[in-house]
Structure 1
């Protein structure tokens, strides 16, 4: 049976790097299950001191299979094992923009980019039409987007994305970053920052970005859109069209690094979610999914699952603790995914 090996990308985060092979294995299992890829016996292996993910494929890997493996958050290279030799398999992933879109921002409390990409992948694999992640039609929402890691990850994949966050400093920091980055890369774009008003009520500010990866794409109308709403995520009614989003992915407050930003973010994540989910759930299309990254120290998994069920979402079954890992002494991080079936 053919075997393919995935070379794992190095992680700049030392703590995350220690768990990266195990997390990548769990991600691959979720992806192959969601996309229906014919693959068995996924496991980490070490060859000549280098970590790989080994995948036994039922037949020779087709184009869709290569796209799925290439989309993994930690995939650095793919090889087909032929005896003692490794034959390179070309990566097939959507990457229309320079990689520094994701890596250049550095600030305290920034979520590891590989984890953000993993959360997006695992959530997208759970929706009714996961192929939308691969063909560029997936509509993404991060309702607590901070300084925009999710926004940049989605844009780097050629996806349209919307972010929401009340912190005006985060909004201005992201607006300044993305405008500067697009100018420096000489991309055809527009970036309009306006007041956000509905029915005569001031709701905050809005940044709307339209950008193309090349002049040819711009001329052909192949553009991506980023929308950032600087407003209260528990009050987005009328700001985002109902049933327009395929996936909602976000970091819930970890109760540590977010605590200094004020009462809004210092609240219990369960309290915040109980107020926010009635606003978020109607935005999901039927068959869409929500993926939450959370700190087990402040949000027990069963309590999160119960809350999601109460708001009409069905938690996706998976191996217990598959994505659980330590960030530091105060953060025991995990993720949970739930689908909107009706």
Structure 2
């Protein structure tokens, strides 16, 4: 098999900080048929040496940290033409900037991990983000060619997402369709209201509601992937002591999340492993017919945040 060098994006430092190398190696480890070598530095840039079939190039370029690929022959490096095959414009995900937005590289990594570990046999996997915020994961899913649904408790989210999409589609003259409606009987709180965005054969739906009621909000058709970046102790106050932890919400939501997942489907949940501890996160999903998958992509964001990812696969 030919030898390649995968250029690690300098921007990956903004997502993974000092642990870029460790995260990169952990993410690529899930790609079958790829023999990973050393990381080397050339001209101030870092490259991951590897061997694989040329048919895996697209998969390599879909990795969150990938900037480009060079083929190595007789000591000469030549850039490989082609791309990751993503749909929609490249700034579809990164164009909107707002406080609290999930890092786009992190979301891309979560989707890659879930796709690598999923075993549902679906030709076009369906993704659910039960805490979708302003839709970063849903829009990345569309770029991957996945059908996506998100749940967000903030009633203002739909208006903000609609405004951002209208701005983006006008800027890029993107053909699209926006549809609004209710997934259940309307009420004063607006629970069950949805917004569908359709473009290039892909659909993303955002539903207003409580993630604890995920099963009722999204219907009975199961999802292949559940990907989410839970709040780092700011929005959810859990426990009688008022500690800033989303654990109480996760414990209440876990049965519904598991019920939404197809056999062989995978959850990829990013969280601050200081609050809650990883053992407490794993315990929240015990007894739900889920298997913990061991992939270490933990990376320190600050003194108070050590971001980790919990991977769970539903038994077949």
Deviation at 1:2, TM superposition (A): 3.7
**Equivalent residue for 1:67, pick from 58, 63, 87:** 58
> Where does residue 294 of structure 2 map in the other structure?
317
Alpha-carbon distance between aligned partners in 2 of 1:39 and 1:197, rounded to the nearest angstrom: 46
> Where does residue 167 of structure 2 map in the other structure?
180
2:4 paired with 1:9: no
CA distance 1:171–1:330, shift in 2 (3 Å): farther
> Where does residue 254 of structure 2 map in the other structure?
277
Runs of 5+ unmatched residues, structure 2: 238-242
SS at 1:79 equivalent? strand
Deviations 1:163-183 (A, max 9, x none): 101111233211211122123
Stretches of 4+ aligned residues off by more than 3 angstroms? 12-18, 198-202
The question of whether the paired residues in 2 share the 8 Å contact of 1:308 and 1:315 is answered with: no
The question of whether the paired residues in 2 share the 8 Å contact of 1:205 and 1:230 is answered with: yes
**Equivalent residue for 2:155, pick from 165, 168, 192:** 168
Alpha-carbon distance between aligned partners in 2 of 1:13 and 1:48, rounded to the nearest angstrom: 17
2:315 paired with 1:337: no
SS at 1:203 equivalent? coil
What is the TM-score normalised by the length of structure 2? Answer: 0.89
SS at 1:6 equivalent? strand
Alpha-carbon distance between aligned partners in 1 of 2:302 and 2:286, rounded to the nearest angstrom: 30
CA distance 1:138–1:43, shift in 2 (3 Å): farther
Alpha-carbon distance between aligned partners in 2 of 1:93 and 1:302, rounded to the nearest angstrom: 36
* Structure 1 segment 253-292 matched on structure 2, within 5 A: 253-256=231-234, 258=235, 268-292=245-269
Q: How many residues align?
A: 312
> Where does residue 203 of structure 1 map in the other structure?
191
2:221 paired with 1:252: no
SS at 2:216 equivalent? coil
Alpha-carbon distance between aligned partners in 2 of 1:55 and 1:12, rounded to the nearest angstrom: 19
What is the TM-score normalised by the length of structure 1? Answer: 0.83
> Where does residue 263 of structure 1 map in the other structure?
none
RMSD of the TM alignment (CA)? 2.6
Deviation at 1:17, TM superposition (A): 4.6
Deviations 1:253-298 (A, max 9, x none): 2114x369xxxxx863221111111111121111110010000110
**Equivalent residue for 1:109, pick from 100, 104, 114:** 100
Alpha-carbon distance between aligned partners in 1 of 2:187 and 2:157, rounded to the nearest angstrom: 25
> Where does residue 144 of structure 2 map in the other structure?
157
